[in-house]
Structure 1
Amino acid sequence: MRFSPKRILKIIFSLSLSVLFVLLIRNLISKSKIGNQGGIFIKEGVNIPDDLKNFVINESPSHEYDDLALCIKSGADVFYDRIPGLLKSYPRYIRNKIIVGEKPGYRIGNYTMHDVCTPTYGEIKETYWSKGKKEGAEKKDNSEKVDAKKDDKKDSDDINQGRKQNFDKLGWQLDVYKNIPAFKLLYDTYPNAKWYMMVDDDTYVFLSNLKKRLSFYNPNEKLYLGASWPIPTGCFPSWSMARFAHGGAGIILSRAAMLAFIGNYDVCVKSFDDCYAGDVRLALCLNTVGIRLNRSERHVNVNWRGHSDQAPNLEYSWLEPCDLPLTFHHLYSKQQMLLYNIQRYHNRDSFTLLKDDEDGNFHTLISYSDLFNSLDLDLKVTPPEKATYRLGSDYKRISYSRILNEEETLEENVVDCQQKCLNDIPKCKSWQYSNFMCHLKSGIPGAIEGTPNSYTGITGVPIQCEKELMLN
């Protein structure tokens, strides 16, 4: 049977309409499914800000830190605000590094933020925090909840203020899903490293100090190192006095610990669903292979220190001038760059300005004393601060006569305690009066909330290291 040209065109037109109709229906169904998923992740392209399209980092040619593999933990809502400034500081000296987060498509220069959440856990529709379970859970970080954009704008120019944690940030809410798969990706990317470290994108690491401290330990021994925090309520550790390494302040695994972790990865990634913190989940995972925080395989406590979960200001506990700082957390990019430049310029004989890619004294050790005296802190004699404590660093204690009504002698005792500290400058850096006792201190512990009749203050004297550096 033969068809006329007119009939053929009519058939083709009808078929085309049918195909278009089918495609339209499929598209509508697809959109409907996506809209009804309620998932947190939106797989869409990310537009790089115009001022970052030509972003370039002058990586250091140094091989000083090739034994270390670094994972920088970020998030989609802060990536372009934090990562560009951070990469200009200490990470430029680390060849083995990756950036991880919870969404794909974020890139700057040669660096991509790897989505470690979706490939591991699939499309996450809600988090512990979005379910409203936040009440009653004592999260390890008790910083105030703030609007991050307002907070950044308000305090970013004040180097004496630290960044406050924003619990509304999606990247933070999904942090629970990042740590375990991120360490796996770090190992898969750099399987020959001796040490593996994870830090937040608002953390600064003193690499020269870290390298020196790690030189006293064997990477072939199973070591899990970091700032020790008690495992919070709700994560159900199986051992008493359970501790974990605070993620923001930095988590370090030796090669042997990493291999043990990798061996049990498939179990760990499917476990600990009731625990709402990624760094705590990692501690629980490591415990399944017999590894606990700051302990050696010989069950000896390791004197590991130097990590801080706060900015270096007068609220920080400057207890040991001769010790080596390793990390500071909750920093703005401007503060990270300040610490980077302090490290490059300290103990230099020349006043010549360094170029951005010049090392200066970056690879030398820097003490808390060096750092404290390089910061523009408001050092002055402070009036007695009511209802505060400064715990630790006592070198002398003086008792006052106890009476039934402390109010009768309170003012006299407080003034006398402060004067005793001022009379013992430069040894006395701060003081505390509480419960008929005067505490004279050789350091400046951070001020914390105390009882109504407790008072503290500082003398405004810089802290000095007058002995050998505390290396190990």
Structure 2
Amino acid sequence: MFSGLPSLFSRSITRVLAVVLVFFLLQQYLYFRKSASVSQDTFRTETQSCDSLKGLEDLYVILRTGATEAPKKLPVHFTTTLRCVPNYALYSDYEEEIGGHHVYNALDEVNPDIIATHPDFQYYRRLQEGGRAAFSTEELATWASAKNTNGGRDSPGWRLDKWKFLPLAEKALVAKPDAKWYVFIESDTYILWQTLLEWLAHFDSSKPHYLGMQMQIGDVIFAYGGAGFAISNPALKKVVEHRKANLKFYDDFTAGHWAGDCVLGKAIADSGTNLLWSFPTLTGDMPADMDFNTSFGGQDKKPWCFYAASYHHLPPSEYANFAKFEQSWNRETAFRLRHRDIFRFYLLPRISSEHDGWDNLSETDQSEVHSFADCRRTCESQPDCLQFSFLGESCKTSTSIRLGHKGYGDTEQVRSGWIVERIKDYTEKMDASCGSKDWVLP
């Protein structure tokens, strides 16, 4: 008479478990839906508020670009870098509208004789006559893949770019003569405005100042354009007046040079304002390619400890993610982002034991290593080795950590690895070296 009870009991338990499972899954669905909604609303609120950026109205921002890259690189700035900036202008070698924003011609006041005769302006003349349609698909592809050389990038747009810097100094002063600071950036420069504003507050804007990541060509020390640079109102007035009084000299100097930021730097120095060497507050790499443990320009200032105000070479796809990260940090933290914070909380979560098709920019060649596994063992055998990469028959190691980037072209098959169990000790040692390092100041 009890033979059916085990089967009945089993079916009852199954029904109960099914109900519990459905209820659990429903609760989980509602929880994650609510969480996603709150997260999106929070971010939407953040992106609408620029109130924390006190002093941004005292800046005039000049973004310099070129016709071949503007449609691809400018749009992302309207929702990230330039979103809160009340006073800015976009300048290129071709006047047009992009995303409802006017792009001005930076070269429209250059000496007409130079435009008509100088080889650098052959590309410009074609561009003005026919727009981008004046160039073949093959030409555009060749220029886009042009290599960097000791004399700059080998493309006509790049060679033309050097002529924009001095005219833009004058255009900026005319457009906003009462700005306290003029900030010059490029279409792949990311500025952390909260940090930049707090840094600029250490300086007297009524005095001549020229702030930028230091570079040198010959005997000219100048601010690297890609990192962004800031010029105070008195300094800009001085260089504009000096250039006007020596126009032919600087036209001739530009014609014989290859770097426009160097041309501007010489004119600023000639007008009596010296550069404040501003690395690593302003930097010339994107976060993923930065070596946060390496100084630059002969100064013992490693990025790790310092506040970060700019990065360079960010691809358009990276801007939204980095902007969201920065906004979240500024909302939740009273302190500005240092380079070490960007490493820990933005880059480190993407570092794993290994990554195929990825170049982490390891630099030290290791001989007699013929496999990825051997490359890892070689790195592990060196107490200070933190990462490695392997391509073909080549093993490279590094004592610093970089995230790096996807492999391109000849490096598509590169495979990278990290000794993740050593990263904690590395970061703690780096922190211990900081002391009171924070801002780059005179």
| Alignment TM-score > 0.5, same fold | yes
- Is 1:113–2:103 an aligned residue pair? yes
Corresponding residue for residue 232 of structure 2: 254
Q: Which runs of 5+ in 2 are unaligned?
A: 1-46, 124-138, 146-151, 294-302, 369-373, 389-396, 405-415
Say yes or no: does 1:372 pair with 2:340. Answer: no
Task: State the shift of 1:389 in Å.
Answer: 4.2
What is the DSSP-based 3-state SS (H/G/I as helix, E as strand, rest coil) of the residue aligned with 1:421?
coil
After the TM superposition, which of the residue ranges 260-269 and 335-344 deviates more from structure 2? 260-269
Give, in whole Å, the separation in 2 of the partners of 1:303 and 1:173.
26
Say if 1:226 and 1:305, in contact at 8 Å, map to a contact too. Answer: no
For residue 168 of structure 1, what is the aligned residue in structure 2?
A: 155
* Partner of residue 68 from structure 2, selected from 62, 77, 80: 77
1:92 aligns to what?
83
Deviation at 1:85, TM superposition (A): 1.1
Q: Residues of 2 paired with 1:148 and 1:371: CA distance?
A: 35
Q: Distance in 2 between matches of 1:291 and 1:260?
A: 8
Matched, 1:286 2:268: yes
Change in Cα spacing, 1:348 to 1:194, as seen in structure 2 (3 Å) is closer
- Separation (CA, whole Å) in 2 of partners of 1:364 and 1:125: 53
Residue 470 (structure 1) aligned to one of 430, 435, 438: 438
How many residues are aligned here? 323
The 2-side partners of 1:124 and 1:206 are apart by 40
- Contact (CA 8 Å) 2:352, 2:417: kept in 1 or not? no
Match of 2:164 among 157, 169, 178: 178
Q: Structure 1 residues 220 and 345, CA, compared in 2 at 3 Å: closer, same or farther?
A: same
Tell me which protein shows more helix as a share of its residues. Answer: 2
How far apart are the structure 2 equivalents of 1:440 and 1:102? 41
CA distance in 1 between counterparts of 2:335 and 2:237 reads 31
Instruction: Give distance in 2, aligned partners of 1:304 and 1:316.
Output: 12
Amino acid of the residue matched to residue 185 of structure 2?
Answer: V
Q: For 2:308, which of 307, 313, 325 is the aligned residue?
A: 325
TM-score by length of 2: 0.61
Normalising by structure 1, report the TM-score: 0.57
Distance 2:155 2:48 in 1: 34
- Matching of residue 459 in structure 1 with residue 419 in structure 2: yes
Q: Secondary structure at the match of 2:231?
A: strand
Equivalent-residue separation in structure 1 for 2:227 and 2:317 (angstroms): 18
RMSD between aligned residues:
4.2
**What letter corresponds to residue 286 of structure 1 in structure 2?**
I
State yes or no: 1:270 paired with 2:260.
Answer: no
Determine the C-alpha separation between the residues in 2 that align with 1:78 and 1:440: 34
Whether the aligned pair in 1 keeps the contact of 2:185 and 2:225 (CA below 8 Å) is yes
SS at match of 2:155: coil
Output aligned runs, 1:415-430, within 5 Å: 418-419=380-381, 421=383
Alignment partner of 2:304: what SS? coil
Residue 327 and residue 125 in structure 1: after superposition, are their counterparts in 2 closer, same or farther (change >3 A)?
farther
The answer for the alignment partner of 2:197 in structure 1 is: 211
Q: Does 1:104 align with 2:117?
A: no
CA shift in 2, pair 1:293/1:430, >3 Å: farther
Change (3 A) 1:146 1:459: farther
Deviation readout 1:287-342 (Å, 9 max, x if unpaired): 22122322xxxxxxx565333322221x3212243322221112222212221111
2:216 pairs with 1:230 = yes
Letter matched to residue 201 of structure 2: S
Deviation at 1:457, TM superposition (A): 8.0
Partner of 1:401: none
Where do 5+ consecutive residues of structure 1 fail to align? 1-56, 132-144, 152-164, 232-236, 295-301, 350-360, 391-405, 423-427, 432-438, 448-455
> Compared with structure 1, are the counterparts of its residues 330 and 259 closer, same or farther at alpha carbon in structure 2 (3 Å cutoff)?
same
TM-fit CA distance, 1:117:
0.4
Mapping 1:14-413, distance limit 5 Å: 60=50, 63-109=54-100, 111-122=101-112, 123-124=115-116, 126-128=118-120, 147=141, 167-168=154-155, 170=157, 172-231=158-217, 240=219, 242-266=220-244, 267-268=246-247, 269-272=250-253, 273-294=255-276, 304-313=279-288, 315-319=289-293, 320-346=303-329, 365-375=336-346, 378-380=350-352, 389=363
Amino acid paired to 1:206: L
Aligned-residue offset at 1:374: 3.2
Cα distance in 1, alignment partners of residues 343 and 163 from structure 2: 36
Q: Is the 8 A contact 1:66 1:95 kept in 2?
A: yes
Q: Measure the CA separation in 2 of the matches of 1:274 and 1:368.
A: 38
- Cα distance in 2 for partners of 1:389, 1:146 equals 32
8 Å contact from structure 1 (residues 67, 194) kept in 2: yes
- Separation in 2 of the partners of 1:327 and 1:184? 24
What is the CA–CA distance in structure 1 between the aligned matches of 2:316 and 2:379, rounded to whole Å? 40
Aligned counterpart, 1:33: none
